[in-house]
Amino acid sequence: MIETQTKTERFRYGGGPHNLGDPNDKYLRKVEKDVLIPQKMRDKAKEEKCVQQVKEFSECCKKANVLMGFKCQKENSALKECLTQWYNDSDFREQCTQEYLDERSEYRRTALFSESC
Protein backbone atom coordinates (compact mmCIF):
# COMPACT_ATOMS: atom_id res chain seq x y z
CA MET A 1 0.00 0.00 0.00
CA ILE A 2 2.76 2.48 0.91
CA GLU A 3 4.66 1.55 -2.25
CA THR A 4 1.62 2.38 -4.40
CA GLN A 5 1.29 5.82 -2.79
CA THR A 6 4.96 6.51 -3.38
CA LYS A 7 4.67 5.57 -7.07
CA THR A 8 1.60 7.78 -7.41
CA GLU A 9 3.36 10.71 -5.76
CA ARG A 10 6.41 10.24 -7.96
CA PHE A 11 4.19 10.15 -11.03
CA ARG A 12 2.37 13.30 -10.00
CA TYR A 13 5.45 15.31 -8.95
CA GLY A 14 7.98 13.78 -11.31
CA GLY A 15 7.86 13.02 -14.99
CA GLY A 16 7.37 15.57 -17.70
CA PRO A 17 10.05 16.73 -20.15
CA HIS A 18 12.50 17.75 -17.40
CA ASN A 19 11.29 15.42 -14.61
CA LEU A 20 9.67 18.43 -12.89
CA GLY A 21 6.10 17.15 -13.24
CA ASP A 22 3.49 17.02 -15.94
CA PRO A 23 3.08 20.51 -17.46
CA ASN A 24 -0.64 19.82 -18.05
CA ASP A 25 -1.34 18.74 -14.46
CA LYS A 26 -3.69 21.23 -12.76
CA TYR A 27 -3.64 19.58 -9.33
CA LEU A 28 -2.63 21.99 -6.54
CA ARG A 29 -0.73 20.73 -3.52
CA LYS A 30 -1.68 22.03 -0.08
CA VAL A 31 1.37 24.32 0.09
CA GLU A 32 0.45 25.83 -3.26
CA LYS A 33 -3.15 26.49 -2.16
CA ASP A 34 -2.30 27.73 1.33
CA VAL A 35 1.02 29.54 0.81
CA LEU A 36 2.11 30.17 -2.77
CA ILE A 37 -1.16 31.40 -4.26
CA PRO A 38 -1.97 33.71 -1.30
CA GLN A 39 1.58 35.12 -1.59
CA LYS A 40 1.02 35.73 -5.29
CA MET A 41 -2.26 37.47 -4.44
CA ARG A 42 -0.55 39.75 -1.88
CA ASP A 43 2.27 40.62 -4.25
CA LYS A 44 -0.05 41.28 -7.17
CA ALA A 45 -2.40 43.39 -5.01
CA LYS A 46 0.53 45.50 -3.76
CA GLU A 47 1.99 45.95 -7.23
CA GLU A 48 -1.21 46.46 -9.24
CA LYS A 49 -4.30 47.06 -7.11
CA CYS A 50 -3.19 49.03 -4.04
CA VAL A 51 -0.43 51.11 -5.60
CA GLN A 52 -1.60 54.42 -4.12
CA GLN A 53 -1.92 53.01 -0.58
CA VAL A 54 1.53 51.38 -0.79
CA LYS A 55 3.02 54.66 -1.99
CA GLU A 56 1.38 56.70 0.80
CA PHE A 57 2.43 54.20 3.48
CA SER A 58 6.02 54.08 2.18
CA GLU A 59 6.29 57.87 2.10
CA CYS A 60 4.89 58.13 5.63
CA CYS A 61 7.37 55.54 6.91
CA LYS A 62 10.29 57.38 5.31
CA LYS A 63 9.24 60.64 6.96
CA ALA A 64 8.44 59.14 10.37
CA ASN A 65 11.55 56.93 10.70
CA VAL A 66 11.46 55.22 14.10
CA LEU A 67 8.01 56.56 14.99
CA MET A 68 6.33 55.05 11.93
CA GLY A 69 4.27 52.67 14.09
CA PHE A 70 2.51 55.63 15.67
CA LYS A 71 2.54 58.21 12.91
CA CYS A 72 1.50 55.98 10.00
CA GLN A 73 -1.50 54.16 11.50
CA LYS A 74 -3.96 55.79 9.09
CA GLU A 75 -1.88 54.85 6.03
CA ASN A 76 -1.26 51.35 7.38
CA SER A 77 -4.99 50.82 7.96
CA ALA A 78 -5.81 52.01 4.43
CA LEU A 79 -3.22 49.62 2.98
CA LYS A 80 -4.48 46.67 5.05
CA GLU A 81 -8.07 47.42 4.03
CA CYS A 82 -7.16 47.50 0.35
CA LEU A 83 -5.12 44.28 0.55
CA THR A 84 -7.88 42.52 2.50
CA GLN A 85 -10.47 43.56 -0.08
CA TRP A 86 -8.46 41.96 -2.88
CA TYR A 87 -7.43 38.95 -0.78
CA ASN A 88 -11.13 38.13 -0.21
CA ASP A 89 -12.14 38.65 -3.86
CA SER A 90 -12.92 35.22 -5.35
CA ASP A 91 -12.42 36.39 -8.96
CA PHE A 92 -9.00 37.79 -8.08
CA ARG A 93 -8.10 34.51 -6.33
CA GLU A 94 -9.13 32.55 -9.43
CA GLN A 95 -7.11 34.88 -11.67
CA CYS A 96 -3.99 34.47 -9.49
CA THR A 97 -4.50 30.70 -9.32
CA GLN A 98 -4.70 30.48 -13.10
CA GLU A 99 -1.59 32.64 -13.49
CA TYR A 100 0.25 30.44 -10.99
CA LEU A 101 -0.78 27.27 -12.87
CA ASP A 102 0.32 28.81 -16.18
CA GLU A 103 3.71 29.80 -14.73
CA ARG A 104 4.15 26.35 -13.16
CA SER A 105 3.25 24.64 -16.44
CA GLU A 106 5.73 26.80 -18.35
CA TYR A 107 8.44 26.01 -15.80
CA ARG A 108 7.73 22.29 -16.00
CA ARG A 109 7.75 22.47 -19.81
CA THR A 110 10.97 24.51 -20.18
CA ALA A 111 12.82 24.18 -16.81
CA LEU A 112 13.36 27.95 -16.97
CA PHE A 113 12.22 30.11 -14.08
CA SER A 114 10.29 33.16 -15.29
CA GLU A 115 11.09 36.59 -13.81
CA SER A 116 7.34 37.21 -13.34
CA CYS A 117 7.08 34.42 -10.74
Nearest residue to 56 (alpha-carbon basis) of 41, 40, 75, 38: 75
* CA gap 56, 17 in Å, rounded: 46
Diameter of the chain by CA atoms?
62
pLDDT at residue 56 in the model = 96
**pTM, rounded to two decimals:** 0.72
Residues 76 and 56 sit within 8 Å (Cβ to Cβ): no
- Residues 50/82, Cβ–Cβ less than 8 Å: yes
Q: Which residue type occupies 13?
A: Y
User: Which sign does the torsion angle of CA 109, 112, 115, 117 carry?
Assistant: positive
Q: What is the model's pLDDT at position 12?
A: 55
Q: What string of pLDDT tens digits covers the 117 residues of the chain?
A: 333 334 444 445 566 555 566 666 788 889 999 999 999 999 999 999 999 999 999 999 999 888 888 899 999 999 999 999 999 999 999 999 999 999 988 888 887 766 554
- Of the candidates 90, 70, 88, the one whose C-alpha atom is nearest the C-alpha of residue 80 is 88
Predicted pLDDT of residue 5: 37
Q: H/E element holding 108?
A: helix 90-110
pLDDT value at residue 87: 95
Instruction: Please state the domain extents for the chain.
Output: 42-110
